[in-house]
Structures are given as structure tokens and as C-alpha cells.
Amino acid sequence: MTAVSDLLLGPGRQPAAALEAALSRTGQHLGRLGAGVAPITDAALCRPLAGLLEEPVGNLAARGWRQHRLVAEACERTRANPGSTEVVELFEHEITSTQRPRLEVFVDDVRVEVIQLELRVALTVDRVGLTIAGGRIAGWSAGTAVGSAELSASGVSLARREHTVVDLSPPPGEPPA
């Protein structure tokens, strides 16, 4: 299983520390607040951002696969026929996920800063076999996948990696998202 943080930052990196280091290299500081307000450190703001990066890349892929016509049709058929399963094979395809979370800072119930983030993940998958049961994706086996990811804040790139081999399997013991 490859997490978004592994794809974006490299395996074994601590997302909060890597994001804080990326901010320092850009000269941007998320914790700049108005006069008279206690400063919030970049480290304190990077911790919740790091949580965004913990999601398995396979979960992003599953959300993309659900939108494919063949998968949607198989979901409908298995929903209408309880106990049935289908396998849908998808060959070479691309999935792109763009998320635009906002981080808002409130002091005494007043919003003093808004940070707009953009996380873009692009995957090229050579083959996947999707098991459909009960109207949803119940599991999958994927061939090779290659991914790229970029995280930016207010238009400034914080981290970027391209052409990384990705393990799309879901975390052990967890159902696909």
C-alpha cells in the first residue's frame, strides 16, 4: 500500500516535517497572522495538513474507478441482485484526483487567515481487476501503476514528485474506500 505522502514526499518521510521544510524553502509561512495575535508555528499548521496525506493512493483510485461506466453498471446489477458478484477488468487508463482543502485559522471566533491548498494526484494504471459485490467495489487486484503528485498552497508548490511506482492495494484488513 502506498500512501499519498509516500507518493508525494518519498517513502518513510514524516509528512508534517517535510511540509514544514518545504514551506521554509519557499519563504512562505502559513503562520503569519495579524498584529496582536499570538503566532501559530508552521509546525502546528503542518500537522493537520499531514493527515490529508495519510490516505492510501488505492482509495483515490477506487473513487475514480467508481465513475467508470462499466464499474457503475456492475454496481447497479449487483445491487439489484443481492449475493451476486462481478469482475470488471480495466486495462491501461489514467485517474486524476484534485482536492482543494482549505485551512482556516480562527482567533476569538474571528477568521484571521485562510490557506487554500491544492493536492493533485495523477495515476497511470496498466490493468486492474475489480470485484463488484453489493453495489460497490469489494476489492481489486492491480497490475503496475505509476503516479505523480503535487501539493501547493496559495499557488506556491510545496512538494512534487513524478513517475513513481505505486502499490494500489488497500491497507491490510481494511475494506476498499
Confidence of residue 130 (pLDDT cuts 50, 70, 90): very high
Contact present, 28 and 6 (Cβ < 8 Å): no
115-128 per-position pLDDT tens digit: 778 999 999 999 99
Contact present, 128 and 169 (Cβ < 8 Å): no
Query: Which three cell numbers, joined as nine digits, stand for 133?
Result: 459485490
Contact present, 167 and 131 (Cβ < 8 Å): no
63-116 per-position pLDDT tens digit: 999 999 999 999 999 999 999 999 999 999 999 999 998 777 777 788 766 677
Domain assignments of the chain as residue spans, ordered by start: 4-166
Closest listed residue to residue 119, CA positions, set 66, 165, 57, 168: 57
